[in-house]
Amino acid sequence: MSPRPFRFAVQSSSATSATEWRERARKAEDLGYSSLLVADHYVGPGTIAKTRGVSPQVLAPWVAMAIAAASTSTLRVGSRVLCIDYHHPAVLAKEAASLDLLSDGRLELGLGAGWTIGEYEAMGLTMDPAPVRIARLEEVIRLVKAHFGDEEIDVRGDHVHVFGYHGTPSPVQKPHPPLIIGGGSPKVLRLAGREADIVSFNFNNRAGVIGAEGVTSSTADNMDQKVSWVREGAGDRFDRIELEIGAYFTAVTDDIDTAAGGLAKMFGLPLEEIKDHPNAYYGTVEQICETLETRRARYGFSYVTVSDRNMEMFAPVVARLAGH
């Protein structure tokens, strides 16, 4: 079976003006990126950001996605990923269906069980234990798919109670927009294998903050294990699932050791382990292209997301590999 073609996304959720956001979306499209993805956080600068490791985010996701779609013609827009506890399930499904319709079928809908404990606290939300949040995620997925279907919605679970109406509008993409499920734990990744069109691999962020524990949970050998959990959940549908990875640590450079050395020191990992880390892409354009092809062969990653700060630096890689 031929490998799935590469495609690339930019992740961004900040802008100081409407002009800046529209220009960023158009730049991503012009550079050959497939998608512009936004995160789902609400806490701005302040005490929580300083003390609890929460990264401030400027733009709310639905509006940002809608404006990006309206400013472009082919760029897909999506969420990486929406925290289900921040959105009423029925409203979330309606928003997704509406955006897929109004973007002419360019939505990628990402969902996750939530992980940023400081943000929950800042927003006055209760962060339930992981098994409860994952069970809720499963019911939200069931509702979203029901909303996109032809039958009257009837979802009455332990967490989601929505029934008695047909979901409208009808999405352009059939049977529904591609569903991204993101996470790093066994339960979430097995669920993603069962239900997702795209699996977004992330750190195991059970600590509720980004740190060495999370980064270590996604080293090369640990990533083999994560892919196996998706396989377990997917069964014979595994080859139909697109696997996405974030290029969090990236530098186009002739000096890989220096570029990766600071990160190795920061997280207390050996240099070679950082250089081989599935979220790290260091080297010349040629070396990064080779790394991407090697990891596609090993893990199945064909969908790669880079930060907006690296969008132009990474563009020569996109030019060489997108669609191949």
**211: phi then psi, degrees, rounded to nearest 5:** -165, -170
Token pair listed for 294: 């090697």
Which domain range does residue 113 map to? 7-321
Q: Indicate whether 106 belongs to any domain.
A: yes
Indicate if the alpha-carbon torsion angle 169, 170, 173, 179 is positive or negative: positive
Q: Indicate whether 218 belongs to any domain.
A: yes
pLDDT at 208: 45
Distances (CA, A) of 131 to 40, 113, 185, 188, 191: 21, 9, 11, 9, 12
Q: Indicate whether 1 belongs to any domain.
A: no
Q: What is the CATH number of the domain that holds 224?
A: 3.20.20.30
pLDDT at 214: 65
CA distance 199 to 322: 19
Segment among 73-77, 226-230, 270-274 with least mean pLDDT? 270-274
How does pLDDT run across 131-184, given as a tens digit for each residue?
A: 999 999 999 999 999 999 999 999 999 999 999 999 999 999 999 999 999 899
* pLDDT surpassing 90 at residue 308: yes
pLDDT at 305: 98
pLDDT at 250: 95
How does pLDDT run across 174-231, given as a tens digit for each residue?
A: 999 999 998 999 999 999 999 999 999 987 655 545 556 667 778 899 999 999 999 9
| Exposed / middle / buried, residue 232 (Cβ in 10 Å: 0-12, 13-18, 19+) | middle
**Residue written as tokens 């399930």?**
89
| Exposed / middle / buried, residue 302 (Cβ in 10 Å: 0-12, 13-18, 19+) | buried
Q: Indicate whether 44 belongs to any domain.
A: yes
pLDDT at 289: 98
Q: Indicate whether 2 belongs to any domain.
A: no
Q: Indicate whether 145 belongs to any domain.
A: yes
CA distance 182 to 26: 26
- DSSP-derived secondary structure letter, 310: G
CA distance 231 to 294: 19
How does pLDDT run across 216-271, given as a tens digit for each residue?
A: 778 899 999 999 999 999 999 999 999 999 999 999 999 999 999 988 888 888 99
pLDDT at 1: 75
CA distance 203 to 193: 17
Helices (H), 123-201: 130-147, 186-195
Number of C-beta neighbours around residue 73 at 10 A = 10
Q: Indicate whether 257 belongs to any domain.
A: yes
pLDDT band at 54 (very low <50, low <70, confident <90, very high): confident
Q: Which of 197, 201, 249 is nearest to 227 (CA)?
A: 201
Give me the DSSP letters along 212-268. HHHHHTTSHHHHHHHHHHHHHHHGGGGGGSEEEEEE-EEEE-S-HHHHHHHHHHHHT
Counted domains in the chain: 1
